[in-house]
Structure 1
Amino acid sequence: MSRPDDPVPILDALREDLDTGFAGLYDAYRVYVHTVALRATGSPADAEDLTAETFLRAYRSLISTRPPDLDTLQPRAWLLTIALNTLRNDRRTKARKPPPGPLDNAPDRCDPTQNPARAAEQNETARELAARLALLPERQREAVVLRHVLDLPIAEIAQVLGVPEGTAKSHVSRGLAALRVHHREAVNAAR
């Protein structure tokens, strides 16, 4: 299996045999796409749908009469851009529906070797973070997730969001500042 930080073998596989290469593309990047989808939608079911739609659109693009240039393609940024654009388009068409809620209904991942108290604490922290992320404006939320959940470099975040690097940095910085404010407010309210 190829490493996502080295796309050359994946791109070579796509050139050689599109279907086999696409399976490698999916294996290498599905976790990235799903993570962004989950944090962006707040719903495990919606995240699964968005992930599937992203890879379907990517495959359709690759088999189209004008496929992306594999010599310059950056697969991770390309797929995350497709995911976020798909989500934005879907939200525009469903503007009358209420926004997705926090990850309260997300299944807890259970590690049988982990201390149950520690597992409960981690799940509660993840739910709190998801709830706070949901309070951020869309671009800030996307930038924070791309930077601090997926650990992408600013240049790639800028590419995914379709903004200059300075704007991407600003989105991350403002998102983190807003998260800190939300955290302080929650701590003060708990006192």
Structure 2
Amino acid sequence: MTGALTVAAAPVRAGAGDCTAIESRDADHAVTLLYASQYRSLVRLAAMLVRDAGTAEEVVQDAFVAMHGGWRRLRSTDKALLYLRQSVVNRSRSVLRHRAVEKYAPKGRPDVPSAEARSIGELERSAVIDALSRLPARQREALVLRYYADLSTGEIAGAMGISPGAVKVHTARGMAALRSVLERFE
């Protein structure tokens, strides 16, 4: 999706220089301050990378959640912003990779008939072929040219060397004979 990229305001306001609290080990307070001061700039960064405001917000929120969960593993709390930026860039790359894969991935499995349906289809086909073989030659020719070769009445008349009216008669009689044979099949 491309369109106007608007960024929602962060719910908490704080100055960009409030890094003293970030150095504390209180993850909730530190992440809240970082969120308040850096959310908008991180969303702008992500939006430039993924070109979608909604996805950009998700990327940034996921980065904040991951940082909050791993707060104790941060070696230096003053590098939390660097961690967030790198996390946003990596998550944006991941989104773009997934988009590329989805673009070329199959959209689902094609409908495959069941073994029973295939078996019934084979039986029906063989019944039609058997019924066709029992028809008089002219009726069989007219039906095959009409329904298998998909020729028009005029083309069939030319191929068989008969009039279009005769083609219609042979086709109608052939269909009636097929119908009676196939009704017994059902």
TM-score bucket of the superposed structures, by smaller chain: 0.3 to 0.5
> Larger RCO: Structure 1 or Structure 2 (Cα < 8 Å, ≥ 6 residues apart)?
1
Which protein shows a greater Rg? 2
Q: TM-score of the superposition, structure 2-length normalised?
A: 0.43
